[in-house]
Amino acid sequence: MMNGKRWLALLIAAGLFLISIGVQFATSLASTNFENVFGQQDELFNETVVESGNSGNKIAVLPLEGVIQDTGSGSLLNNSGYNHQNFLRMLEKAGEDKSIDGIILRVNTPGGGVVESAEIHDKIVEIQENTDKPVYVSMGNTAASGGYYVSAPADKIIANAATLTGSIGVIMESINYAELAEEYGIDFNTIKSGKYKDIMSGSRPMTEDEEAILQTMVDELYDEFVQVIVDGRGIEEATVRELGDGRVYTGKQALDNQLIDGLGTLDDTIAMMEEDNELGEAQVVQYETGFHFDQLLGMTAKSFFGSDMKLAGLRELIRESDAPRAMYLYSR
């Protein structure tokens, strides 16, 4: 049994632990805009003025950063990176806001999910069909694969000469650990309703029939990618297929192949939009993701359980990699 001194020591240790949590939480809170943290949850992004302007016109810049993947937002552990649903809301707001005269997507992404890329593409086309707002793209360091897919319908695409773009194509990957498992004497027991139910399983080699099935899916999605470029850029299908062998292009090479419309910076793109659409010296605003209470809790949790949370993230990555998924992704 524990004597009084041991109980006292235990209580002191527990108290210090709780105080430590409070200090960490308060530190995170102090470095955060209080209004944003406890703001209404439907205000998922802020509007920051980049250029004040004096013409009464307004241009919105929407940053598209990171891998285009819908990772969900329900978990406290998911507090960083690209937020797909939030970006779709940004597009929707920019399209519906009557004070916005033009939209510029600042694209800096290696691509991502097939479905997510298609959702962004369709939202851009919807804005173009329902409004007369020009939609331009300013490419950053990388705007490849899905990054180019979402850019294709834009009225004008501008990139830096050193931007990496292109990577037109589809990729589907999984980790096969069958030989490793055999070496260590690990057996897998799988009960399935049909012979293709565990297609692309990492625990056994892929059959020729399975490879043919998956290749048909990839080819179908590639055809869709090609059509998006044909429709958006007005390039002949044969030319798109010739360019779309998966390779990346520099901005200069992309311009030579008519994949983009010009070379320049974000500021150059803003100036072009103003000149092309008679927007004068427009006010330029940038939509930025707001910082919310669940993100704060996630950051605080990471500060305490850093290594354990990294391990949990690794486990999640392994689980995801074991499931077949087609991607418009520049994979190096």
For the record, the structure tokens of 2 come out as 């524990």
Confidence category of residue 55, pLDDT binned at 50, 70, 90: confident
Task: Read off the pLDDT of residues 265-289 as tens digits, 9 standing for 90 and up.
Answer: 999 999 999 999 999 899 999 998 7
The residue ranking higher by pLDDT, 329 or 291, is: 329
Percent of the chain with pLDDT over 90: 61
Mean pLDDT of the 91-104 span: 96
The residue ranking higher by pLDDT, 82 or 227, is: 227
**Does position 35 have pLDDT exceeding 70, yes or no?**
no
Beta-sheet pairing, 102-109 with 135-144: parallel
CA distances from 143 to 107, 168, 240 (A): 6, 11, 17
Residue 77: per-residue pLDDT: 45
Please state which of the ranges 19-28, 216-225, 237-246 shows the lowest mean pLDDT: 19-28
Cβ atoms of 76 and 25 within 8 Å: the answer is no
Can you give the pTM of this predicted structure? 0.80
At a CB cut-off of 8 Å and minimum separation 6, what does 133 contact? 94, 95, 100, 101, 102, 103, 127
Give the closest residue to 221 by CA, choosing from 169, 271, 263.
169
The neighbour count for residue 32, using CB atoms within 10 Å, is 17
The residue ranking higher by pLDDT, 318 or 144, is: 144
Confidence category of residue 202, pLDDT binned at 50, 70, 90: confident
Confidence category of residue 32, pLDDT binned at 50, 70, 90: very low
**Does position 290 have pLDDT exceeding 90, yes or no?**
no
Beta-sheet pairing, 326-329 with 111-113: antiparallel
Longest Cα separation, the chain: 84
For the record, the structure tokens of 13 come out as 């240790």
The neighbour count for residue 210, using CB atoms within 10 Å, is 17
At a CB cut-off of 8 Å and minimum separation 6, what does 48 contact? 285, 286, 287, 288
**Does position 257 have pLDDT exceeding 70, yes or no?**
yes
Mean pLDDT of the 127-147 span: 98
Cβ atoms of 213 and 200 within 8 Å: the answer is no
Confidence category of residue 302, pLDDT binned at 50, 70, 90: low
CATH class of 43-166+247-318+325-329: alpha beta
Task: Read off the pLDDT of residues 77-93 as tens digits, 9 standing for 90 and up.
Answer: 444 479 999 999 999 99
**Does position 113 have pLDDT exceeding 60, yes or no?**
yes
Catalytic residues: 145, 197
Residue 96: per-residue pLDDT: 96
Residue 91: per-residue pLDDT: 97
Return the domain boundaries, the chain.
43-166+247-318+325-329
**Does position 261 have pLDDT exceeding 90, yes or no?**
yes
Percent of the chain with pLDDT over 70: 73
**Does position 34 have pLDDT exceeding 50, yes or no?**
no
**Does position 311 have pLDDT exceeding 80, yes or no?**
no
Half-sphere exposure in the Cβ direction for 88 (13 Å, CA): 15
> CA dihedral in degrees (92, 98, 100, 104; nearest 10)?
30
**Does position 315 have pLDDT exceeding 80, yes or no?**
no
Mean of per-residue pLDDT scores for the chain: 84
At a CB cut-off of 8 Å and minimum separation 6, what does 141 contact? 108, 160, 162, 163, 164
Give the closest residue to 102 by CA, choosing from 156, 48, 166.
156
* HEC per residue, the chain: CCCHHHHHHHHHHHHHHHHHHHHHHHHHHHCCCHHHHCCCCCCCEEEEEEECCCCCCEEEEEEEECCECCCCCCCCCCCCCCCHHHHHHHHHHHHHCCCCCEEEEEEEECEEEHHHHHHHHHHHHHHHHHCCCCEEEEEEEEEECHHHHHHCCCCEEEECCCCEEECCCCEECCCCCHHHHHHCCCCCCCCCCCCCCCCCCCCCCCCHHHHHHHHHHHHHHHHHHHHHHHHHHCCCHHHHHHHCCCCEEEHHHHHHCCCCCEECCHHHHHHHHHHHCCCCCCEEEEEEECCCHHHHHHHHHHHHCHHHHHHHHHHHHHHHHCCCCEEEECCC
